[in-house]
């Protein structure tokens, strides 16, 4: 017998009606945005294509909304049972969403089946195979973007729609590459959970469909004209930047080092008082870790002098570019945003783009390919050459970096340019 609530019937739907509605919505033929079963419960199809049961109710005079699950994982009969159970809690003056959250927390508090616990175990397994920098970046991305929404949930309860919500939020802020990397990590975490028998399916796998296709870019953006490179340096000097970000930008430009190594640079890695100043980056912090020995970056006179001055002003900090926000060091994003937003160089030049500018212009000006590649810590293409040629070509790299210094300095302070520098912010 059908229950009557407020003059309207409940339990109005059938599985056939539900299937028809979902098909029509996905095909764009249904005018109605939701399908009501009565009692405040209805079905809607999200832009990502997930059919979601929702319950609208009132508590304390305010209208509220909660999810009852994704169809067909939560069928019509189960959704009705959940609705009736929540209605019973409401009659007792209790918030059903709060009660459900408390039960879930109590159920998983003593277990290792939550997403953050499984992700922590997966990260620990990966740590020995990754550089310290890659591990830190990956852990930070999961903690920042995934844990707030999925961290306390059991991996077996997480659905593709939940993962899609996380990935779409990252992509919505314009970070498509970050969204793709975070999704790749999520796929691996759930695969790890599957291997441990903690979940049957991998809810992250189908979420690839919500990401837009990668734009066909042949290479990273970079500027290859001296005049434009000089203009970038001048505009960065005139911009209102923190002192740490400004100095990190200068180190990127004058060494063509990877941005990850720049932001995480430690003073212990620099020998600024040597006859030829150097920056020795531990191999464990480099992208390529199967080479022998640490990577030596020759510091040209301009950047060496600026680093000595910066070290005197920086005090006792272990990291060369400490974060004013309380972290160990400034983030990649803080430096990338300068190029993308402050200097309006989106899709034209990036901190990493200095590597392409350096490599292209150096080879165009007669420097040997191997010398340039060694300066960038690139490996030989040929496996035999890699096995026998382990020389560092340091004298030639000194000449290369001094040439790069002279060219950038001339480009920045050309004969018709009077340098303008705004005072840095704290």
The CA–CA distances, whole Å, from 55 to 10, 83, 150, 166, 281 equal 13, 7, 21, 22, 56
CATH of domain 226-412: 1.10.443.10
User: Cα–Cα distance between 170 and 8 in angstroms, integer?
Assistant: 41
The pLDDT assigned to 95 comes to 85
Residues 170-195: tens digit of each pLDDT: 888 878 888 899 999 999 999 999 99
Q: Within a 10 A sphere around the Cβ of 163, how many other Cβ atoms?
A: 26
Q: Quick one: pLDDT at residue 106?
A: 53
Give the least confident one: 36-50, 88-102, 140-154, 157-171.
88-102
Q: How confident is the model at residue 392 (pLDDT cuts 50, 70, 90)?
A: low
What pTM was estimated for this model as a whole? 0.51
Query: Residues near 384 by Cβ (< 8 Å), separated by ≥ 6?
Result: none
341 exposed, middle or buried (CB, 10 Å; 0-12, 13-18, 19+)?
exposed
- Predicted local distance difference test score (pLDDT) of residue 308: 95
Name the class of domain 115-210. mainly alpha
Distance of alpha carbon 270 from alpha carbon 72, whole angstroms: 59
322 or 389, greater pLDDT: 322
**Spatial separation of the C-alpha atoms in residues 419 and 416, rounded to whole Å:** 10
Contact (Cβ atoms closer than 8 angstroms) between residue 256 and residue 408: no
Are β-strands 8-9 and 34-38 bridged in parallel, bridged antiparallel, or unpaired?
unpaired
- At 344, is the pLDDT very low, low, confident or very high (cuts 50, 70, 90)? very high
> How many Å apart are CA 337 and CA 321, to the nearest integer?
16
Architecture of the domain spanning 4-108: 2-Layer Sandwich (3.30)
Average pLDDT over residues 194-211: 90
Encode pLDDT of 229-249 as tens digits. 999 999 999 999 999 999 999
What are the residue boundaries of the structural domains of the chain, listed by start?
4-108, 115-210, 226-412
Q: What is the pLDDT of residues 102-111, one digit of tens each?
A: 666 555 444 5
Q: What is the mean pLDDT of residues 28-34?
A: 79
Q: How far is it, in rounded angstroms, from Cα 375 to Cα 397?
A: 7
Measured in degrees and rounded to the nearest 5, phi and psi for residue 37 equal -105, -5
Judge whether residue 298 has pLDDT over 90: yes
Q: What is the CA radius of gyration of the chain?
A: 28
């Amino acid at each position: 017998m059908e229950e009557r609530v407020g003059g309207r019937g409940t339990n109005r739907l059938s599985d056939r009606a539900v299937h028809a509605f979902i098909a029509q919505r996905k095909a764009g033929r249904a005018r109605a945005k939701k399908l009501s079963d009565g009692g405040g419960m209805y079905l809607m199809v999200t832009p990502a294509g997930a059919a979601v049961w929702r319950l609208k109710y009132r508590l304390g005079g305010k209208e509220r909304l909660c999810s009852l699950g994704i169809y067909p994982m939560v069928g019509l009969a189960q959704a009705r049972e959940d609705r009736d159970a929540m209605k019973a809690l409401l009659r007792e003056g209790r918030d059903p969403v709060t009660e459900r959250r408390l039960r879930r927390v109590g159920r998983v508090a003593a277990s290792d089946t939550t997403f953050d616990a499984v992700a922590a175990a997966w990260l620990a397994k990966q740590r020995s195979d990754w550089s310290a920098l890659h591990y830190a970046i990956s852990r930070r991305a999961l903690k920042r973007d995934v844990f707030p929404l999925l961290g306390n949930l059991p991996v077996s309860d997480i659905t593709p729609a939940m993962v899609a919500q996380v990935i779409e939020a990252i992509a919505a802020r314009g970070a498509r590459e970050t969204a793709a990397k975070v999704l790749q990590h999520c796929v691996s975490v759930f695969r790890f959970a599957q291997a441990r028998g903690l979940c049957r399916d991998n809810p992250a796998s189908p979420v690839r469909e919500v990401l837009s296709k990668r734009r066909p870019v042949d290479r990273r953006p970079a500027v290859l004209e001296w005049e434009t490179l000089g203009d970038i340096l001048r505009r960065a000097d005139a911009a209102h930047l923190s002192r740490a970000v400004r100095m990190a930008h200068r180190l990127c430009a004058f060494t063509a080092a990877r941005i990850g190594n720049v932001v995480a640079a430690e003073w212990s890695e620099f020998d600024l008082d040597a006859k030829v100043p150097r920056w020795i980056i531990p191999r464990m912090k480099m992208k390529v870790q199967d080479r022998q020995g640490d990577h030596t970056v020759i510091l040209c006179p301009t950047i060496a002098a600026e680093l000595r001055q910066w070290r005197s002003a920086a005090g006792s900090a272990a990291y060369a570019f400490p974060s004013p926000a309380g972290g160990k060091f400034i983030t990649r994003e803080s430096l990338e945003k300068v190029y993308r937003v402050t200097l309006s160089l989106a899709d034209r030049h990036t901190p990493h783009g200095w590597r392409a500018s350096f490599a292209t212009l150096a080879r165009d000006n007669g420097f040997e390919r191997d010398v340039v590649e060694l300066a960038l810590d690139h490996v030989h293409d040929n496996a035999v050459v890699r096995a026998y040629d382990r020389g560092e070509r340091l004298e030639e790299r000194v000449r290369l970096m001094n040439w790069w210094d002279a060219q950038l300095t001339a480009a920045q302070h050309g004969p018709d340019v009077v340098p303008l520098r705004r005072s840095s912010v704290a």
